[in-house]
């Protein structure tokens, strides 16, 4: 994938999921997706759509805030990390989680700022901004 910038306004949770489901077809093995944005910005909602677009079970997706990793079965395996409670990038590395970047699936990371330089250069950043109670802006780079 190139480094093109894509912007989308999603007026509802369903629109966010539909956008993610369509975008999922552009992904290939070893993709790392950095999902950046505040609490309630739509990152987990996006993940439900992404999993649907990869022929997985979106109802399985939950915010993994109390567990660092939720793996999901789909056309490509999806490794969904939520690093909100992570103390340091070294903790991530010591748990061997950086190995998921090379496991042939899609690695999606909420709160990627917590691991900084451990993210591979190929990571695709998606920034989520809340425009209103239901509306979100997504910027993909």
pLDDT per residue over 10-43, tens digit each? 999 999 999 999 999 999 999 999 999 998 899 9
* Per-residue confidence (pLDDT) for residue 64, from 0 to 100: 58
Whether 25 and 99 have beta carbons less than 8 Å apart is answered as: no
- Can you list the residues of the chain whose pLDDT is less than 70? 1-3, 64-65
Please report, for residues 11, 36, 132, the alpha-carbon distance to residue 109 in angstroms, rounded to integers and kept in the order given.
23, 8, 24
The class (CATH top level) of 6-140 is: alpha beta
Q: Give the pLDDT confidence score for residue 1 in this predicted structure.
A: 44
**Average pLDDT, rounded, for the chain:** 92
Report pTM: 0.92
Quote the pLDDT of residue 72.
93
**pLDDT computed for residue 3 by the predictor:** 60
């Amino acid at each position: 994938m190139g480094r093109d910038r894509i912007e989308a306004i999603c007026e509802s949770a369903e629109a966010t999921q539909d956008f993610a489901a369509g975008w999922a077809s552009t992904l290939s093995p070893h993709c790392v997706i950095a999902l950046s944005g505040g609490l309630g910005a739509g990152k987990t909602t996006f993940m439900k759509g992404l999993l649907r677009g990869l022929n997985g079970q979106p109802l399985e997706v939950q915010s993994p805030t109390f567990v660092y990793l939720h793996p999901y079965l789909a056309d490509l395996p999806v490794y969904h990390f939520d690093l909100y409670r992570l103390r340091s990038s070294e903790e991530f590395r010591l748990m061997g989680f950086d190995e998921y970047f090379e496991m042939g699936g899609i690695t999606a990371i909420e709160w990627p700022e917590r691991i900084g330089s451990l993210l591979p250069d190929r990571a695709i950043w998606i920034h989520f901004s809340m425009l209103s109670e239901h509306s979100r802006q997504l910027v993909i780079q």
